[in-house]
Structure 1
C-alpha cells in the first residue's frame, strides 16, 4: 500500500482553482472536463495528505479511515468512495467519475473563505462569473508554483516544495498552458516531468491518472 507524503497545506484544489482562473476577470483557463479532471485529482491528493486514503497495487484507491473530515469537498469524495465499498477502483477511474462533481464544491469552499465572489456579467445579464476578492491573493499560488516549476530539482533530489510541485504537475497533466503564459509549453512540460519523477509514488499515480483520463476522453470524442 502506498500512503502519501505529508503537506501542511491541504487545499491543493483551492489553489488549482485559482491558478485556473484569471485573477482579475475570472476567465477560466481550461474547459469544463479538463478542469474537472484536475480538481478531482487535487482533492484525492488532499485526502492522501490527510491520511484518509491510500493507493494499493495497481493505483487502486482505498479508504484508510472510517471517519470524515468535516470539509464538504473532501467528505463528498469520501462518501462516494465509501458507497462503493467493498468494491475498489483505480485512481484514474475515480478522477473520471468525479470530474463533474467538484467545480462548484471547490468554488463554494473558496467563497466561504472570502477568496472569490460571484458577480453578474452585466446589469441585465443573468450570467455570473467567479472573480477574486483580492487579485493579489488569488495570483499568489501561481507565482509560487512558477518558482518551483522554473527551478526543478537535480537528480535524486526531492522538489523544494512538494505542494507546488504537485500543482505544477497537475497544470502540466491538464495542459493548462494558458494559465502560465510566462513559461513556454515545452519548458513547462519538461520541468514538470522532472518534478513528477521525484514525487511520492501515490502523487505520481494520481497526476498520471489525469493525463491518461484526459487522453481517453479525447478518444471518446473522436469516435
Structure 2
C-alpha cells in the first residue's frame, strides 16, 4: 500500500471509525498534524532546520501532495520562522483541508447532521479501513518488537507522544504504561528526544533535528504532561 502523509495518519488514528468523532486534545491533534506536514517535507529533503533556529527550504520541488506542496510554497515565500511559529501558523484549518482530501479519496465520509434544527455537526466515519489498519499494524510491530522501526514510523511515534495522542492507540489500562515507555524509548533512540546524539540516531541527523525541534515546540504549546 502506498504510504499516506503523516498528517493523515495522525488524523485517522484520532477519529473513531464508527462515530466519526475525534478523541483527545483538539489542539494537540492540530499541532501534531502541522508538525507532521513539516516532518514529511524533511523526510523528503525539502526543508531543514538551520543553524539560526529557523526552518528553511533546501529544495522547492513539489512532492505531489497538495497539502505538503502548499506548505512548502508558503515556507519558501514567507519570511523565516522558528518551528514553534510555523506550528501556530499552519495548524488553523489544516484539519479541514486534510479531511476534505480523505473524503475525496473515499477513505472517510462526511456525515452532515443537524442538531437543534440549526446547528450543523460533521462526523467522519471510516469508509476504507485499510489505511488505518496498516498504520496500527506498524505501530503494533514497533511497540511489541525489539528492533527500532524505520524513521517514518519513529517520527509518527514521536508525534503521538508529543501531541498527547497515546489514547488513540486504544490500549487496555494494563498495557498503557508499558506502551508509553516503549513509545518514549523509540523516540529517544531515534534521537528525537535529545537522549541520543544525532550522529548515533537511527535516522538521518537532518530529519532527527527537525523532528526533535517540532516535538519540543508541541510540548511547549501544550504545557507539561500529566504524570501517568
Pairwise same-fold verdict (TM > 0.5): yes
Match of 1:208, SS state, is helix
Question: Which residue of structure 1 lines up, in the alignment, with residue 110 of structure 2?
Answer: 118
CA separation of 1:55 and 1:188: change in aligned 2, threshold 3 A: same
1:106, distance to aligned residue in structure 2 (A)? 1.3
1:84, distance to aligned residue in structure 2 (A)? 1.9
Query: What is the CA deviation profile of residues 52-100 of structure 1, one whole-angstrom value per residue up to 9, with x for unaligned ones?
Result: 1111126521001233334220122123212323xx2221221122121
Distance 1:97 1:34 in 2: 14
Question: Which residue of structure 1 lines up, in the alignment, with residue 196 of structure 2?
Answer: none
Query: What is the CA deviation profile of residues 161-194 of structure 1, one whole-angstrom value per residue up to 9, with x for unaligned ones?
Result: 3222221211111112321231654333322221
Structure 2: 5+ residue stretches without partners: 191-202
> 2:47 matched to 1:53?
yes
Larger RCO of the pair (alpha carbons < 8 Å, separation 6+): 1
Provide the alpha-carbon RMSD of the alignment: 2.6
Structure 1: 5+ residue stretches without partners: 1-7, 154-158, 219-223
CA contact (8 A) 1:60 1:90 kept: yes
The count of residues paired between Structure 1 and Structure 2 equals 203
- Give the TM-score normalised by structure 2: 0.77
- Give the TM-score normalised by structure 1: 0.78
> Among residues 99, 114, 139, which one is paired with 1:145 in the alignment?
139
Distance 1:58 1:152 in 2: 37
